[in-house]
Chains A and B, each alone.
Chain A
Amino acid sequence: MSGTFTKAMARNIFYGGAVFFFLLLVALSFDTMSGLPKSDNRANLTESVLRGKHIWETRNCIGCHTLLGEGAYFAPELGNVYPRRGAEFIKAWIKSQPTGTPGRRQMPNFNLTEQELDDIVAFLKYTSEINTQKWPPNIEG
Chain B
Amino acid sequence: MNTCVQTLVSPSAAPAVASDGSARRLPGDLAIWFFILAELLAFGAFFLAYAFARANNVELFNEQQLALDRNAGALNTILLLTSSYLVVRAVQAAEAGQSRRAATWIAGGFACGAGFVVVKLFEYVAKFAAGVSLSSSTFHMFYLILTFFHFMHVILGLVILAALWNGARKGRYGPGNMNGIETGAAYWHMVDLVWLILFPLVYVMR
Interface residues of A (CB under 8 A from B): 1-6, 9-10, 13, 16-17, 20, 23-24, 31, 35, 38
Contact = CB atoms under 8 A, between A and B. Distances in A.
A35 B144 CA distance: 15
Contact of A13 (B7, B16, B25, B31): B31
A5 B29 contact: yes
12 contacts: A1-B13, A1-B14, A1-B25, A4-B179, A6-B29, A6-B179, A9-B29, A9-B31, A13-B32, A23-B152, A24-B149, A24-B152
Interface of B: 7, 11-16, 23-26, 28-32, 35, 133-135, 149, 152, 156, 160, 179-180, 183
Q: Lowest 6 A-B CB distances belong to which pairs? A: A3-B26, A5-B30, A9-B29, A10-B31, A5-B11, A4-B179
B94 to A, nearest CB: 14
B35 A1 contact: no
A13 B134 contact: no
B152 to A, nearest CB: 6
A9 B32 contact: yes
Nearest to A31: B134
Given A1-B11, A1-B14, A6-B179, A20 B156 contact: yes
Nearest to B7: A1
B183 A9 contact: yes
Nearest to B135: A35
A13 B26 contact: no
Contacts of A5: 11, 29-31
A67 to B, nearest CB: 24
